[in-house]
């Protein structure tokens, strides 16, 4: 006679589940919850942005077979080597959400930085507005680079009033545009920012003013009705700020697109000087750098210095010029084989390049 033996119950069967201890059942339920939460976390965006090394661009070279800095109608000299501007790449901007796992992976990568998104994209500013602002800053850095280079070369520089920003919700919002050259107000030519302010204040609140601007290569008249100034309701206000657009006596064009911000100013100025002088600034070497510049040649701080150092060395640079303010921040993050020289002005950068070519000692930031 065949003996029938009861089959063992699996842990997944009701009887098997009942045989598990309370601790085991709790552990299984907790594991399931963790798996579900992990799956949900992988899909939910987090309010951070990852900043990583971006591409570098040789300012004395070409992009898509076109010189990055194109100078015409004057004598231009051959260049060699690299004067690379450095960039950073952002992940997690408003149109490309970042997951918690991407943020954690970047957190442990020394070449990347994880920043709260509101630092770069405040809630009251859209991503498009940030990009437009960076485009204006990029254009302004080119203008300032021309002024600084012309001053270093002791050549004339031309300065024209330009709209640098338009306040959102102000009378000029939607009518005037940042970056437009301002030629006249109510038919009277203007050559300084002060003249524009005087012209607005010369009329009563609610009066119409005609601004003549250079838009897409054509002169355009734009009418704006003033309103009470938010800071002083007794004064008329249109909501624009005016700066100066600098140019040389000959055309200088910057052909690089899809890059924003002011941090390439110093490298643009060096490229202009290199192209307009017979001596090579690099001696055929690979130099990279970053730094804002003002019309007088003063070099200022930027963001993402650690990422730019990594990007420069990854591209092949052996000398890196950067604002003096970043030495402490760079310590411990200077790649092997990269000499980092802090500068405060265009003149200091030119001296550093001369000493580097001559094999003389350079004051550099410690690697840490």
The larger pLDDT score, comparing residue 228 to residue 111, is at 228
Report yes or no: 48 and 117 within 8 Å, Cβ to Cβ: yes
Two structure tokens written together for 295: 């019309």
Q: Which helix (H) or strand (E) holds 145?
A: helix 127-152
Residues 214-231 as b/e (b if ≥16 CB within 10 A, e otherwise) read beeeeeeeeebebbebee
Q: Give the span between the Cα atoms of 271 and 256, in whole angstroms.
A: 13
Range with lowest mean pLDDT among 9-23, 117-131, 261-275, 312-326: 9-23
Residue 268 has pLDDT above 60, yes or no: yes
Task: Report whether pLDDT(44) > 80.
Answer: no
pLDDT tens by residue, 45-56: 666 777 789 999
Q: What share of the chain has pLDDT > 70, as a percent?
A: 76
Distance CA 353, CA 287 (A): 9
Token pair of 64 as six digits: 């898509």
Residue 6 has pLDDT above 90, yes or no: no
Residue 125: partners with Cβ closer than 8 Å, 6 or more residues away = none
Torsion from C-alpha of 223, 228, 229, 235, nearest 10 degrees: 90
What residues does 342 pair with on adjacent strands? Answer: 322
CB crowding 317-333: b at 16 or more within 10 Å, else e: bebbbbbbebbeebeeb
Provide the pLDDT for residue 104: 67
Q: What pLDDT is stored for residue 2 in this prediction? A: 44
At 266, list the tokens: 């110093």
**pLDDT of amino acid 27:** 66
Predicted confidence at residue 25, as pLDDT, reads 62
Q: Each residue of 191-228: pLDDT tens digit?
A: 999 999 999 999 999 999 999 999 998 999 999 999 99
How remote is the C-alpha of 215 from its chain's centroid? 25
- Provide CB contacts within 8 A for 321, sequence distance 6+: 266, 287, 288, 289, 290, 291, 341, 343, 349, 352, 353
Nearest residue to 169 (alpha-carbon basis) of 137, 200, 124: 124
């Amino acid at each position: 006679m065949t003996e029938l033996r009861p089959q063992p119950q699996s842990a997944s069967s009701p009887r098997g589940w009942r045989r598990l201890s309370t601790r085991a059942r709790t552990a299984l339920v907790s594991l399931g919850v963790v798996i579900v939460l992990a799956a949900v976390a992988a899909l939910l965006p987090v309010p951070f942005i990852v900043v990583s090394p971006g591409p570098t661009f040789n300012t004395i070279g070409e992009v898509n077979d076109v010189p990055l800095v194109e100078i015409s109608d004057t004598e231009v000299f051959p260049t060699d080597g690299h004067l690379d501007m450095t960039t950073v790449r952002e992940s997690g901007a408003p149109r490309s959400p970042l997951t918690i796992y991407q943020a954690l992976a970047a957190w442990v990568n020394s070449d990347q930085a994880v920043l709260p998104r509101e630092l770069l994209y405040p809630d009251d500013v859209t991503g498009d507005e940030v990009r437009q602002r960076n485009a204006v800053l990029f254009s302004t850095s080119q203008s300032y680079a021309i002024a600084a280079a012309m001053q270093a070369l002791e050549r004339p520089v031309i300065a024209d009033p330009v709209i640098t920003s338009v306040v959102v919700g102000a009378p000029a919002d939607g009518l005037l545009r940042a970056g437009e050259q301002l030629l006249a107000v109510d038919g009277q030519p203007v050559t300084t920012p002060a003249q524009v302010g005087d012209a607005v204040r010369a009329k009563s609140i609610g009066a119409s003013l005609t601004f003549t601007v250079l838009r897409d290569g054509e002169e355009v008249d734009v009418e704006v009705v003033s309103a009470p100034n938010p800071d002083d309701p007794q004064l008329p206000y249109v909501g624009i700020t005016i700066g100066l657009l600098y140019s040389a006596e000959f055309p200088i064009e910057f052909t690089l697109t899809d890059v924003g911000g002011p941090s390439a100013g110093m490298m643009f100025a060096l490229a202009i000087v290199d192209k307009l002088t017979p001596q090579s600034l690099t001696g055929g070497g690979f130099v990279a750098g970053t730094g804002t510049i003002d019309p007088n040649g003063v070099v200022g701080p930027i963001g993402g210095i650690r990422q730019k150092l990594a990007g420069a060395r990854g591209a092949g640079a052996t000398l890196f010029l950067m604002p003096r303010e970043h030495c402490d921040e760079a310590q411990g993050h200077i790649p092997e084989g990269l000499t980092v020289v802090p500068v405060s002005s265009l003149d200091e950068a030119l001296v550093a390049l001369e000493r580097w070519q001559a094999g003389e000692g350079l004051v550099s930031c410690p690697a840490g």
